[in-house]
C-alpha cells in the first residue's frame, strides 16, 4: 500500500566496453595547455637568458654598460666573475658580471 513497485532499470555499460581513445581525449586539454604554456612562456624566457649570457660573456674593455642599479659605466678591467667599471673620471667600482643588464653603443657616455 505505501510501498510503490520497483522496476528494473537497464544495466549501465561495462567499464571495459569504453573505447581506447576515451582516456586520450580526456588528457588532450591538459596536453594542449602545456604546449601553449611552453611556446608562450618557457621558450621566450630561455631565449632571453641565452641572449643575456652571451652579452655578458662578450663584454670587453671599453664597453659602455648599464648596471642593474641603473648606473652608466665604462668597463675598465675584466675578471672571470667581476668587472671594474669607471662611473666617473678616476672613480672605479667593482661589480659582478651579472649586474650588467645592457651594453650601450660606443660614445653614449660622455
**Which CATH number goes with the domain that contains 73?**
2.30.30
The most distant pair of C-alpha atoms in the chain lies apart, rounded to whole Å, by: 107
Q: Is residue 89 part of a domain?
A: yes
Measuring CA to CA, how many Å separate 101 from each of 25, 31, 40? 45, 35, 23
110 and 74 within one domain: yes
* Domain, as residue range, for 50: 19-58
- Of 2 and 31, the structure prediction assigns the larger pLDDT to 31
> In the predicted model, what is the mean pLDDT of the chain?
88
The C-alpha cell at 99 is 649586474
Classify the phi-psi angles of 89: left when phi > 0, otherwise alpha if psi is within -120 to 50, otherwise beta. beta
Reported confidence tier of residue 57, pLDDT bands at 50, 70, 90: very high
Question: Does one domain contain both 79 and 100?
Answer: yes
Q: What is the pLDDT of residue 4?
A: 74
Are 44 and 65 part of one and the same domain? no
Confidence of residue 23 (pLDDT cuts 50, 70, 90): confident
- Same domain as 50, residue 32: yes
* Structural domain includes residue 100: yes
Question: What is residue 1's three-state secondary structure?
Answer: coil
Amino acid at each position: 500500500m505505501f510501498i510503490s513497485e520497483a522496476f528494473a532499470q537497464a544495466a549501465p555499460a561495462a567499464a571495459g566496453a569504453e573505447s581506447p581513445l576515451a582516456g586520450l581525449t580526456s588528457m588532450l586539454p591538459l596536453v594542449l595547455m602545456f604546449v601553449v604554456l611552453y611556446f608562450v612562456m618557457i621558450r621566450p624566457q630561455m631565449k632571453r637568458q641565452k641572449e643575456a649570457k652571451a652579452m655578458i660573456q662578450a663584454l670587453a674593455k671599453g664597453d659602455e654598460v648599464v648596471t642593474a642599479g641603473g648606473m652608466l659605466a665604462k668597463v675598465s678591467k675584466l675578471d672571470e666573475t667581476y668587472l671594474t667599471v669607471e662611473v666617473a673620471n678616476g672613480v672605479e667600482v667593482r661589480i659582478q658580471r651579472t649586474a650588467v643588464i645592457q651594453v650601450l653603443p660606443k660614445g653614449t657616455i660622455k
